[in-house]
């Protein structure tokens, strides 16, 4: 069985983030073919092209981690109908310098998690737009929008809703097939 290295990118910095809790739950239920690594984008300096002559070590580390990955799994909350700045910054850093897009061709999937009823729909689709431009083939189905996130976890941060667990497991199985189809 081929092993795939999957980079997990969470667009929420909050310690008790529902997106982070969801990412950890999904990493725990990952198929055996996945070796998943959570990439820390919290200390990533903001993209500034003037820094490319001597790029920050955090930029270089992110770019290497992306290049080394076979697939990408994004988790995003919704901030003002879009993705958080830290996630957009990671995308910008990884796509530069011009002609050296680290994200290029990596199969991806997106999970949006929100306490609200629309489940981060806007952020999910806004992220898809950016990923399309940087040539990241993003899994279309199943889509993953998790609303009412405050009710999905117990006091220890574990998923407590069986139907959500079942859905996320089926999502991971579909993502495994997607990565196996697209990964180079």
Supply the CATH number for residue 17's domain.
3.40.50.360
Domain tally, the chain = 1
Partners of residue 108 on adjacent β-strands? 72, 138
The whole domain housing 156 covers 4-182
pLDDT tens digits for range 107-164: 999 999 999 888 889 999 999 999 999 999 999 999 999 999 999 999 999 999 999 9
pLDDT tens digits for range 83-109: 999 999 999 999 999 999 999 999 999
* pTM, 2 dp: 0.96
Under 8 Å between Cβ of 161 and 133: no
Under 8 Å between Cβ of 171 and 142: yes
Under 8 Å between Cβ of 6 and 70: yes
């Amino acid at each position: 069985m081929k092993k795939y290295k999957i980079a997990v990118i969470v667009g929420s910095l909050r310690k008790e983030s529902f997106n982070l809790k969801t990412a950890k739950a999904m990493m725990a239920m990952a198929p055996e073919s996945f070796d998943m690594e959570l990439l820390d984008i919290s200390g990533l300096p903001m993209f500034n092209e003037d820094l490319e002559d001597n790029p920050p070590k955090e930029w270089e580390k992110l770019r290497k981690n992306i290049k080394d990955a076979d697939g990408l799994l994004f988790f995003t909350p919704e901030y003002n109908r879009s993705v958080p700045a830290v996630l957009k910054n990671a995308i910008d850093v990884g796509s530069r310098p011009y002609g050296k897009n680290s994200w290029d061709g990596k199969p991806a999937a997106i999970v949006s998690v929100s306490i609200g009823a629309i489940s981060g729909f806007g952020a999910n689709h806004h992220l898809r737009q950016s990923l399309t431009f940087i040539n990241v083939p993003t899994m279309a189905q199943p889509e993953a929008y998790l609303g009412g996130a405050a009710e999905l976890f117990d006091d220890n941060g574990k998923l407590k809703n069986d139907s959500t667990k079942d859905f996320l497991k089926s999502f991971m199985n579909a993502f495994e097939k997607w990565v196996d189809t697209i990964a180079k």
